Structure 1
Amino acid sequence: MEDETSERRIGAGIRRRRRALDLTLAEVAARSGLSSPFLSQIENDRARPSMRSLQRVADALDTTAVQLLAAGETPRRVDIVRADADPGLDAGLDSGFGAGAGSGPDPTARVRPLVRGQHQMHALEFTGDHDAERAFRHRNDELMYVADGSAEVEADGRTHRLGRGDTLYLTGGVEHRWRALEAGTRVLLVAVADHVEAVVDPRG
């Protein structure tokens, strides 16, 4: 029986990607701004990066954080990710609530992958604070669902406020950024994976 409760291993996927690009730890450290010892600990699963640090590693390796997370897992035809199996990654953010941005780390800010291994779609659960500093543009379509709290999304030149139960659909290629508006916000992001070649319906 497949293990439904094991914590995901990120290091193997990072190491494979780095070696495929023929890069040393020192070169990745220079590109990412992270130290070589810390990167070595991540690759050997002795340290767990925050989502922000993982994004910096992904940028240095010309890939995405989602792809690095998927690369460290074996895909399964049927898979259950238990709610208490893996706490996910620290978002690595200062709290933007109450006293304003920079008021201190938000201990509730987490990012939890909901799909293990490389599949045709991926899903992430964001809990707690999330900033809007980084803009994203994905190759394929994406759906955002606000399970709790509220969020503000900038997409295609417009700003949208989403409350609990609201859904936002983004066509591939649309640049967007978002932030949580209140403590306890929980957002699910589900998207077609970037490696999938979407077929355009000729009927429009």
Structure 2
Amino acid sequence: MGDHKEQHLRVGAAVRRRRRALELTLAVVSERSGLSVPFLSQIENDRARPSTASLEKLADALRTTAVELLAAADPACSVDVVRAEDFERPLAPQTRSLVRGHHQMHASEFTGDHDAGREFQYRNDRLMYVADGGVEIEAEGRAYRLGRGDTLYLTGGVRHRWRATGPETRVIVVAVAEHIEAVEDRPR
């Protein structure tokens, strides 16, 4: 099988995200790139695969590079299973990624203790879900105690720290991936 996945990336969503982040219409991108609006629409919907030359023109119009667009592209396969048995190390504190590859969303599972001394601040939003045990979280000067089944949502930019209250604690953290620009709602 090898690394044939790289050749089958769907660049459409990455192009659309970049265009929307810059608040550009298809017409403006068409004007800048010399590519037609229908062709751009087909690229964004993964109905057309741009040539290297077209991708470079498109990247220039979006003030980025073809390499960056490909790095932010989605793999053509849309289903990926991460098996629990691949990570069986009970009782030792550990972190495992629940999502393989470069996607819009990232998820991790934290098991056991966690370094409460470290403060975190992420650019994008994240959701913490306590699957087992409990955690204490300090955010925005307030303390929160979460038990099994509880969730806490943190907006991007919120400084926080947390610790497990027992060795059997499992926390799932789901977040917008750090390589995705958070788009602020601010008038131009």
What range describes the TM-score normalised by the shorter chain of this pair?
Answer: 0.5 to 0.7
In structure 2, the residue matched to 1:132 is 116
Alpha-carbon distance between aligned partners in 1 of 2:87 and 2:152, rounded to the nearest angstrom: 27
Q: How is 1:80-95 mapped onto 2 (pairs within 5 angstroms)?
A: 80-87=81-88
Q: How is 1:165-176 mapped onto 2 (pairs within 5 angstroms)?
A: 165-176=149-160
> How far did 1:182 drift?
1.1
Name the Cα RMSD after superposition.
2.7
Q: How is 1:1-204 mapped onto 2 (pairs within 5 angstroms)?
A: 76-87=77-88, 107-200=91-184
> How far did 1:198 drift?
2.4
> How far did 1:200 drift?
3.9
Give the match's secondary structure for 1:85: helix
> Unaligned 5+ residue runs, structure 2?
3-70
When structure 1 is superposed on structure 2, of 109-118 and 140-149 the one drifting more is: 109-118
Q: Report sequence identity in percent.
A: 64
Alpha-carbon distance between aligned partners in 1 of 2:83 and 2:179, rounded to the nearest angstrom: 26
Give the match's secondary structure for 2:127: strand
- Runs of 4+ in structure 1 deviating by more than 6 angstroms, as ranges, are none
Q: How many residues align?
A: 116
Higher RCO by CA contacts (8 Å cutoff, separation 6 or greater): 2
Max radius of gyration: which structure? 2
Q: Which has the higher helix share?
A: 2
> 1:87–1:112: 8 Å Cα contact kept in structure 2?
no
